């Protein structure tokens, strides 16, 4: 690689800015140069090593001992003293959950908490997801125009997440209000004057999560992953700790909500931009499961994830020192031609779509992946049936919340002729 002024950082590496417009517009495309020329590079701007090829990203995910996930939820933008003080006032103590927990603590905890994610258990949630989806579509199906994000794809996964976790109905509205702050706090670059406001919201979210947890402890017999965790704590207090439960009460909502909401918004945008593909899945719903997988590959909602090296090591032919922080770019891996033929093409019949790394890989791979898939499939089933004639509002500009990791358009405006709704002629 070309070295800038004798310093071991190439010009491209020096220019890499994950908060800049190129990465925000298309993270995979913005790192094509890296996949081709310098697949592992140090970004002085970020203070991270960036990993962009499929095999390397997978290898990092695979070895969670050398590449620890401990920094996965660390704030990527150093916070001001004032914001830190604000968080301290709320006794904010987000700690290890699962996604950022090291061995040997992680695996026993993951195993202890896995039951609610089995296909048999997830099947119980399907009627709730379908009912909610139908209710939201009912609200706009006759209107002729909707923002799919604001009117459905944001709220339904949030409500599903709250149900899945077992949050009492009466606390859902408050939890909903606070949940967004965590993303900006963790993966965003809030301006200094924004930081205190973000910290206030995060602090309140933390406290409220504690209150809800206490309420669930009074009667942990109910459905939901958090009551289940409280029951497991009674059997294994060293594995399912208090700190885990409080942290997951807050982090779990974000893990289940924004990831799925963004993935669904990306999927509708992508499918409607590729009109013939949309028409194909309208005609043949059996194509939906692989279409979901291909959407997760082509336009996934987790663009990058983080690891920290626990020992001197190598990735490809690059030496990585102990303590190095890594930004592993799942979105880039998913567009690596070394693994996917014609990776930029959107092909819902691609045989290896599900090799994508959007859910991570290995011992920390997303536990909620089948819940997310179920939600996305139901959204597509319902909308391809009820609004097959909808189209993107032309010339709309898609905007994204600037951050390294979570990716989905803020709005997806669609329009259709309600006179032509299939349920008018064939109720
Ligand atoms: C972990 C992505 C939905 C719960 C992860 C990781 C990623 C991810 C990238 C880290 C994987 C790794 O380190 O190897 C996604 C995406 C989703 C989604 C893209 C939606 C499209 C969900 C849902 C839940 C969930 C609905 C439900 C609660 C979790 C949990 C972990 C996790 C508990 C930690 C697993 C562990 O460390 O052992 N997810 N996720 N996720 N996700 Fe998801």
260 lines ligand 1 (CB under 6 A): yes
SS3 for 319?
Answer: strand
Sheet holding 40-43, edge to edge: 40-43, 48-51, 325-328, 305-309, 67-68
Interface ipTM above 0.90: yes
Q: From atom 2 of ligand 1, which residue's Cα is the shortest distance away? A: 359
Closest CA to 375 of 282, 268, 273, 252: 268
Structure tokens belonging to residue 231: 């029951």
Q: Which of 255, 306, 407 has most ligand 1 atoms within 8 Å of CB, for mutation? A: 255
231/242 Cα distance (integer angstroms): 12
Domain boundaries, the chain: 11-425
Put residue 246 in one of left, alpha, beta given phi > 0 → left and psi -120 to 50 → alpha. Answer: alpha
360 lines ligand 1 (CB under 6 A): yes
186 lines ligand 1 (CB under 6 A): no
Q: Which of 103, 183, 368, 374 has most ligand 1 atoms within 8 Å of CB, for mutation? A: 368
Task: Kindly give the confidence (pLDDT) of every residue in the chain, 427 residues in length, as a single tens digit, with 9 standing for 90 and above.
Answer: 444 444 578 999 999 999 888 998 899 999 999 999 999 999 998 999 999 999 999 999 999 999 999 999 887 777 788 888 999 999 998 889 999 999 999 999 999 999 999 999 999 999 999 999 999 999 999 999 999 998 999 989 999 999 999 998 888 888 777 776 666 666 666 677 778 888 888 899 999 999 999 999 999 999 999 999 999 999 999 999 999 999 999 989 889 998 999 999 999 999 999 999 999 999 999 999 999 999 999 999 999 999 999 999 999 999 999 999 999 999 999 999 999 999 999 999 999 999 999 999 999 999 999 999 999 999 999 999 999 999 999 999 999 888 888 899 999 999 999 999 999 876 6
CATH superfamily of 11-425: Cytochrome P450 (1.10.630.10)
**Structural contact between residues 132 and 160, judged by C-beta atoms closer than 8 angstroms:** yes
């Amino acid at each position: 690689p070309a070295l800038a002024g004798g310093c071991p950082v190439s010009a491209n590496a020096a220019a890499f800015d994950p908060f800049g417009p190129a990465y925000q517009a298309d993270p995979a495309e913005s790192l094509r140069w890296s996949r081709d020329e310098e697949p592992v590079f140090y970004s002085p701007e970020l203070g991270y090593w960036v990993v962009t090829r499929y095999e390397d990203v997978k290898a990092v995910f695979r070895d969670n001992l050398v590449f620890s996930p401990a920094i996965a939820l660390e704030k990527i933008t150093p916070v001001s003293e004032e914001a830190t003080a604000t968080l301290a006032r709320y006794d904010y103590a987000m700690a290890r959950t699962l996604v950022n927990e090291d061995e040997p603590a992680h695996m026993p905890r993951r195993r202890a908490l896995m039951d609610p994610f089995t296909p048999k258990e997830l099947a119980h949630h399907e009627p709730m997801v379908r009912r909610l989806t139908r209710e939201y579509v009912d609200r706009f199906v006759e209107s002729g125009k909707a923002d799919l994000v604001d009117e459905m794809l944001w709220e339904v996964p949030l409500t599903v997440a709250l149900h899945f976790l077992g949050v009492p109905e009466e606390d859902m509205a408050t939890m909903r209000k606070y949940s967004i702050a965590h993303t900006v706090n963790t993966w965003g670059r809030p301006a200094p004057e924004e930081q205190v406001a973000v910290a206030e919201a995060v602090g309140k979210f933390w406290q409220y999560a504690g209150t809800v947890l206490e309420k669930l402890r009074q009667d942990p017999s109910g459905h939901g992953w958090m009551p289940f965790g409280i029951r497991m704590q009674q059997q294994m207090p060293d594995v399912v700790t208090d700190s885990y439960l409080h942290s997951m009460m807050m982090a779990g909502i974000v893990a289940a909500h924004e990831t799925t909401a963004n993935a669904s918004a990306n999927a509708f945008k992508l499918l409607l931009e590729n009109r013939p593909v949309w028409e194909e899945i309208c005609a043949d719903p059996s194509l939906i499961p692989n279409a979901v997988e291909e959407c997760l590959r082509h336009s996934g909602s987790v663009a990058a994830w983080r690891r920290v090296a626990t020992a001197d090591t190598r990735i490809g032919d690059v030496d990585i020192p102990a303590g190095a922080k890594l930004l592993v770019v799942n979105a880039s891996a998913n567009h690596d031609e070394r693994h996917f033929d014609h990776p930029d093409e959107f092909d819902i019949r691609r045989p290896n779509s599900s090799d994508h790394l959007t859910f991570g890989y290995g011992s920390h791979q997303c536990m909620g992946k089948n819940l997310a898939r179920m939600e996305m499939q139901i959204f597509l089933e319902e909308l391809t049936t009820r609004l097959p004639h909808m189209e993107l509002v032309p010339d709309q500009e898609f905007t994204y919340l600037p951050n390294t990791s979570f990716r989905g358009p803020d709005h997806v405006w669609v329009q259709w002729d309600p006179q032509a709704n299939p349920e008018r002629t064939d109720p």
